[in-house]
Amino acid sequence: MPIIEVENLSKIFGKNVKESLQLLDDGKKKDEILKQTGDTVGVNRVSFEVEQGEVFVIMGLSGSGKSTLIRLVNRLIEPTEGSVMIDGENLATMNKEDLRRVRREKLSMVFQNFGLFPFRTILENAEYGLEVQGIDKKERAEKAKNALDLVGLGDYINQYPKQLSGGMQQRVGLARALANDPEVLLMDEAFSALDPLIRKDMQDELLELQQKMKKTILFITHDLDEALRIGDRIALMKDGVIVQIGTPEDILVNPANDYVERFVEDVDRSKVLTAENIMRRPETINIDKHGPRVALERMGEEGLSSIYVTDNQRMLKGYVTAEDAARARKNEIRNLNEILKTDVPTVERDKPMQEIFEMIYDSPIPIAVVDNGKLVGIIIRGSILAALAGESEVQINV
Amino acid sequence: MFDFLPQIPLADWVDDFTVWITNTFSFIFNPIRNQFGDFMSWTADQLASIPPVIVILLVAVLAFFITGKRYGLAIFSIVGLVLVYNQGLWDELMNTFTLVLISSLLSVIIGVPVGILMSKSKVVEAIMLPILDFMQTMPAFVYLIPAVAFFSIGMVPGVFASLIFATPPTVRFTNLGIRQVSTELVEAAEAFGSTGFQRLFKVELPMAKGTIMAGINQTVMLALSMVVIASMIGAPGLGRPVLSALQRAQAGPGFVAGLSIVILAIIIDRITQNLNKSKA
């Protein structure tokens, strides 16, 4: 069961909510509604699900409604319509006491400008969530200390937020959110206020922490690179509507519409695409069935200078070159094993494209993409260029 | 021009209203006048019974530490207070100090909660703002009259008048301070599941403390400025010599008493300001 289920969630800011909802039903756009009723549509009929342990990124430019959406998820903003199920409980309709309980036990939030209390020490800040639950001093100090150790700030517990750098302050924000061991972390542009280098460090650190903790993370950002870097899945928002939900590859490779396409145009694809996304179907011969003659024929048909060799289980054995195969035929050699070369350049299917560049530059033959020893595809220089250019014929599957 | 309108007997209504309140609530006013009045003169007596040397030294030491171990204010306090003693105004000084202390305390006790309510509710704010304007702009002499009707003469109506005049800054600054707490911090408090009280006491009040203290400082200064006016209704203190100097056209004694008020004002102002700085 998904841990967060958002269904048909809307938020309209203004005084003519009913009328505006009616207009939404009629399929009117955000600016038309603003003109007619004076209301602003913050979030428009949004539905999505987040699985346990997933990093779900909501990405959009300013004004897209992403910050409103995350605040609807923990009801810092009252939803106009729709439901937010957290772990099977509908947050949108529950009473204040239940809401407090869910916020205390299941949801934690990390803020763009850190949201630290300047009059409290680092430890006291990290303790806040536990303190309001009425947990006794010793226990909460211990838990908060652990959380601070986790983000590498164990030595700073008696400092005040002002004494720390931006990156460190946000670690405190993260520790505060982790201290009460929530199931869901809501991160609202958590790294946007940091400078680019620190931001990257923090992203890495978050991913590392996530490996250990397996929390469910709902992450808001306006930075597509950040979204692609940390998201298991990404929802793209525009004018309060989710335009597309998908894995980073989905979004890059199959943009749902012009908006998404324009959005992803400038992305450095080499960081996101993996071997799997750019590989092509390999021409192979079977070492158990074929000899040099078949190899030569196949190469002739396809215009290749070398061909990969597999066995009956499609396990990669090596390759033969056209030259060797021709010589073998002349010398009446029947067995491929004698001319088989095994210095094969291989990559796993999830290898980022960026790391393949150098390999392919040095390699005289295409790179083999393997999955547990099985040959699943090959990468030639042309496919890399095609992927960088963003051609739509790039295949996701084998 | 508007002669067709008969004159509205507003003044008569207020007169009747005052009489009605005085009579109806005398069961409240009388005990306040007696008990509270006794308490205040007791406090003033206690303060006056401490040898002046000790008071002066205590104030100097307090000033020294609260200004971050600087000598300026401490030396000023010693010189200023010795001068007041030398001019034979020590008892008046103690009476004035009692009046300022008690009325400021009451102002804070009333003003801070009202300010909190205002910050939490637009309705309360809408109701309170004109009332505060009224309290601050209505000439003080005007409410001295009913004050005397309610509480007779002496310290108690002085405190009453001072309350009306001096409480608004505390209310306004408390309201302002809480409303100025950044949205993100309020959201942080909410997101971690704070109750209303936890949010108020753990986040909003600590964040607003500086602003609230500035308001309290203003309140204390305004209370002090009421001293002369309060002496018109028989409140003892430094206002009396000022008033009698005024009535007899004596420039010298008037100046001396006025200077004493200024000295007290500067000491109290600097101390309360630094109280704010050292903790914020």
Q: Which of B110, B25, B92, B94 is nearest to B54 (CA)?
A: B94
Q: Is B193's CB within 8 Å of A186's CB?
A: no
Record: contact A129-B192, CB cut-off 8 A: yes
Residues within 8 A of B (CB atoms), A 75-134 only:
76, 100-104, 107-109, 111-113, 115-119, 128-129, 131-133
CATH architecture of A4-106+182-267: 3-Layer(aba) Sandwich (3.40)
- pLDDT of A395 strictly over 50: no
pLDDT digits (tens, 9 = 90+) for B124-137: 999 999 999 999 88
- A119 to B207: CB separation less than 8 angstroms, yes or no: yes
Give which of B192, B203, B212, B276 to mutate to test A binding, by max A Cβ within 10 Å. Answer: B192
Which of B188, B198, B206 minimises the CB distance to A111? B188
Residue in chain A closest to B198 (alpha carbons) equals A132
Distance from the Cα of A263 to chain B's closest Cα (Å) equals 29
DSSP string computed for chain B? --TTSPPP-HHHHHHHHHHHHHHHTHHHHHHIIIIIHHHHHHHHHHHHHS-HHHHHHHHHHHHHHHTTS-SHHHHHHHHHHHHHHHTT-HHHHHHHHHHHHHHHHHHHHHHHHHHHHHHH-HHHHHHHHHHHHHHHHS-HHHHHHHHHHHH-SSHHHHHHHHHHHHHHHHHHHHHHHHHTS-HHHHHHHHHTT--HHHIIIIIIHHHHHHHHHHHHHHHHHHHHHTHHHHHTTT--STHHHHHHHHHHT-HHHHHHHHHHHHHHHHHHHHHHHHHHHHH-
- Chain B: closest CA distance from residue A315 (Å): 53
Q: Which chain A residue has its CA at the smallest distance from B187's CA?
A: A76
Chain A contact present for B191, CB below 8 A: yes
Chain A: nearest CA to B77, how far in angstroms?
32
Q: What are phi and psi of A236, to 5 degrees?
A: -95, 125
Q: Which residue of B has its CA nearest to A102?
A: B193
Q: Is B278 in CB contact (< 8 Å) with chain A?
A: no
- Asked whether the predicted pLDDT for residue A393 surpasses 50, the reply is no
pLDDT of residue B279: 47
**Which residues on chain A are in Cβ contact (under 8 Å) with B206?**
117, 119
Looking at chain A, the domain(s) classified CATH 3.40.50.300 span: 4-106+182-267
**ipTM for the whole complex:** 0.78
Strand order in the sheet with A306-310: A284-286, A306-310, A316-321
For chain A, give every residue range classified as CATH 3.10.580.10: 276-389
Of B184, B187, B192, the CB nearest to A128: B192
Number of Cβ atoms within 10 Å of the Cβ of A63: 16
Q: Which residues of chain B lie closer than 8 angstroms to A147, CB-CB? A: none
Tell me which fold the domain A276-389 belongs to.
CBS-domain (3.10.580)
**A132 and B190 in contact by Cβ < 8 A?**
no
What are the pLDDT digits (tens) for A243-276? 999 998 888 888 888 888 877 777 777 777 788 8
pLDDT tens digit sequence for A190-209: 998 888 888 888 898 899 88
pLDDT value at position A2? 87
Nearest-CB residue to B184 (from A107, A111, A119): A111
Which chain B residues have a beta carbon less than 8 Å from that of A113? 184
Residues of A in contact with B213 (CB under 8 A): none
Cβ-nearest to B191 among A103, A116, A119: A103
Do the Cβ atoms of A115 and B202 come within 8 Å? no
Handedness of CA A120, A124, A127, A131 (dihedral sign): negative
First to last CA, chain A: 30
Q: What is the token pair recorded at A233?
A: 């899945």
Domain ranges of chain B: 10-49+87-279
Picking from B266, B273, B191, B42, the residue whose alpha carbon sits closest to that of residue A77 is B191
Instruction: Decide if A115 and B203 are in contact by the 8 Å CB cutoff.
Output: no
Structure confidence at residue B278 (pLDDT): 56
> Residue A397 pLDDT > 80, yes or no?
no
Distance CA B21, CA B145 (A): 13
Task: Please tell me the predicted confidence (pLDDT) of residue A398.
Answer: 34
Q: Nearest-CA distance from A18 to chain B in Å?
A: 24
Judged against a pLDDT cut of 70, whether residue A21 lies above it is answered with yes
pLDDT < 70: residue spans in chain B? 277-280
Q: Which of A113, A119, A132 sits opposite B193 (nearest CB)?
A: A132
Confidence of residue A391 (pLDDT cuts 50, 70, 90): low
Chain B contact set for A111 (CB, 8 A): 184, 187-188
Q: B187: distance to nearest CA of chain A, Å?
A: 7
Closest by CA position to A389, among listed A260, A270, A281, A277: A270
Q: What is the spatial distance between Cα A362 and Cα B275, in angstroms, rounded to a whole number?
A: 72
Mean pLDDT of A209-238: 90
Instruction: Determine whether the interchain pair A74/B188 forms a contact, defined as Cβ–Cβ distance below 8 Å.
Output: no
Task: Determine the pLDDT at residue A77.
Answer: 92
Contact criterion met (CB < 8 Å) for B193 and A119? no
Q: What is the pLDDT of residue A162?
A: 92
CATH architecture of B10-49+87-279: Orthogonal Bundle (1.10)
Name the band, by pLDDT with cuts 50, 70 and 90, for residue A216: very high
Q: What is the mean pLDDT of residues A91-104?
A: 92
The mean pLDDT of A87-94, rounded to a whole number, is 90
CA distance B64 to chain A (A): 25
pTM: 0.76
Q: Could you tell me how many CB contacts below 8 A there are between chain A and chain B?
A: 60
**Measured between alpha carbons, how far is B228 from B211 in angstroms, rounded to an integer?**
28
pLDDT in tens, A298-325: 888 888 888 898 888 888 888 988 888 8
The whole-angstrom distance between A182's CA and the closest CA on chain B is 10
Residue A331 CB coordination number (10 Å): 10
Instruction: Report helix angle B90-120 to B37-49, nearest 10.
Output: 130
Q: Do A115 and B207 touch (CB under 8 A)?
A: no
Taking the CA of residue A146 and the nearest CA in chain B, the distance in Å comes to 18
Confidence of residue A390 (pLDDT cuts 50, 70, 90): low
| Nearest C-alpha in B relative to A180 | B192
What rounded mean pLDDT belongs to chain A? Answer: 87
Contact check, Cβ <8 Å, A132/B188: no
Q: How far is A270 from chain B (nearest CA, A)?
A: 37
Q: Confidence class of residue A396 from pLDDT cuts 50, 70 and 90?
A: very low
B213 touches chain A (CB under 8 A): no
Residue B192 near chain A (CB below 8 Å): yes
Nearest CB neighbour to A115, from listed B185, B198, B209: B185
Task: Give A-chain residues touching B187 at CB under 8 angstroms.
Answer: 71, 76, 109, 111, 115
